[in-house]
Chain A
Amino acid sequence: MNRDWSELSPILWDSVRETLYIVGVTVGVGGVLGLALGVLLYATRRGNLLENVFVFTVLNVAVNVVRPIPFIIFITAVGPVTLAVVGTTIGNDAVIFAMSIMATFVTARIVEQNLVATDPGVIEAARAMGASRLRILVTVLVPEALAPLILGYTFLLIGIVDMSALAGYVGGGGLGNFAIVYGYQRFNWEVTLVTVLVIIGMVQLAQLLGNWLARKALHR
């Protein structure tokens, strides 16, 4: 047992709380905005409810441009925007801002890809009942794709936990920062290992919850 643990455990738990905060806000903001963007991306595609070549092309290109940028570069690249909106480019809030933008675009693609699998017959049935296009998007399309969407969001959540590890580089906190400051920089491999185990535990819990919810949503 490392003699530092009495001193380190409270910091570790603070870091867990910070990670949960950063990930929670990002999933909330990026998840909602990404859902809207993803539905729009799906609906404006040729042959779909809101077919619009211009809107689809703009959104599609935007998603393709933003998504592949390595996140650590993306944080600095959006720095001016972060400064204008958040007021600073360092700390948790600045990181959350950058992460939310990236999460929005990632989510948009995940949502779109899961909606493509929706049975077009169900959408046709809703149209035949006289439902408006907006109503169909909200009350048919999204609920029908709920199970794959839940799994998609679980995948997203894990990606965001991954992203949050970089918060430490721009003065943010969380488990990533903890592992770097108390593990890597102090050559304390044990601290790094414990951090990794905590992250694995969190991710496993999220995956189990996601799988369970998706199964419930299938109504078999």
Chain B
Amino acid sequence: MLGESLTVRDLRICATPPGGEERIIVNDIGFELAPGEVLALIGESGSGKTTIALAMLGYARSGCRIAGGSVQLGDTDILSLNATQTRALRGHRVAYVAQSAAAAFNPSRTLMDQVIEGALIHDVMSRQEARQKAVSLFHDLALPDPEHIGERYPHQISGGQLQRVMAAMALITDPALVILDEPTTALDVTTQIEVLRAFKQVMRERGTTAIYVSHDLAVVAQMADQVLVLQNGETQEHNTTARILEQPAHEYTRSLLAAARPQDHLSPVEGRHGGELLDIHDLQVGYGSRDGQGRPENVVLEHINLHLVRGQALGVIGESGSGKSTLARAVAGLVAPSHGAVQFDRRELSTTLRGRTPDQFRRIQMVFQSADNALNPAHSVQRLLNRPLETYFSLSRRERRARVEELMDLVKLPRDLLDRKPGELSGGQKQRVNLARALAAKPDLILCDEVTSALDTVVGAAILELLVELRRELGVAYLFISHDISTVRSLCDDVMVLYQGECVESGPCQQVLETPRHDYTRRLIGSVPELRQGWLESRPTRNETAAPVT
């Protein structure tokens, strides 16, 4: 047993925004962990969960300061240590696993260098011992080629592997406490399950005390003994995981649970409407130079056939790199396919933007994943919505104004937000504006590229609900790109599963998701964490399930 007990009392953290007054962002947080116990901090973004987790390392990001309270690890009062003592603590007795391993590894140093650095600067062991220990950790974490993976650079291995190397980096000094900050959020579900399993096993073997930060209750249910639900930096509910899942006391906890459960109540609009809208035949997209047959060097998508009628919603699911975003970009005209034909409303759709008519532009609209990047931060909401109206319609000033207000009503935003800039809106509001901008063109087809992925569960669920309603009211068709099966299930009539650039299965949503025929589809569905404890253990390991997917 290596873990030590952790007691946090009355933790308070203040933040000073540039040019603003100091305000409290985390208030009155307290909990106790026995050695080897795992606590989950759960809440939406901005709820202060990462801030609290970092305070366990005696660290506050720039602009923040730990204003009061105590953090007691074993016999050490972490917050009363001086700078040198804090440094000796970090990466030795308390270790941190960051959300994005790709950003948290130094791109210009080898993995081994970085993994053993902590052990060397804290003088825990010799370089030789540290290397051996790292290799054995790589082995425990089920990394491929554990003997040599350390010689590689971060860009040479995949995201899921990198996340596990980061766990090795944290565990190299046998820390008493490990902070895991959304360690699997950036991963595909199929990868996530492997990483979670590896994490859980090594942590249980070592009896490490841990804090697990997440916004995903289903993941937390697999990893944690206790759950602390946060909102606006304050504790809403704190209990054992089982109690939280079965008898949530607080309303906010219940809304989190509801958002995490499969949403049958959203079930799609029934009935097909109207005629043919989009028809894709044997599409191939790639990049790089083309060979004699016109085949690109790197093929991203191949043999894609797709048929969409007016008002239909088609979900496209697959993991990152499966080519699902490329499909949307090809339909939007942002990348030219190397082979195949796209028909829109029975007319050939030019593969490039230049060849398309203004009306085709208007009728196909795209909504991007990140509203932060898609909305011009210097424009007001009013101006953002006016732009497509000016481009596609000739309306008088008054008609435009009326239309903008109508759009705001459609996406359920109060009209007094019209003069705000995107920076002054919340994440959910920004995504609604993003959607309203697409709707302004009165499109027949909306390409939704991971529109809920960047949002918190509760906010994302509300956006999904809005999409369902819009479809019912306006009869618009969706090509809905997602890596999240539950969102596809709640919105779409049909689903198409992409794997390594090819369609492995497609058909009505219910049929495909309930009786999947292809191995990969089964694995994809089986990897979505369920909201019950013990789910992770009940899943067969990959080697047992998978005959390699072809």
Q: Do A and B come from one complex?
A: no
Which residues of A approach B to under 8 Å, CB–CB? none
Which residues of B approach A to under 8 Å, CB–CB? none
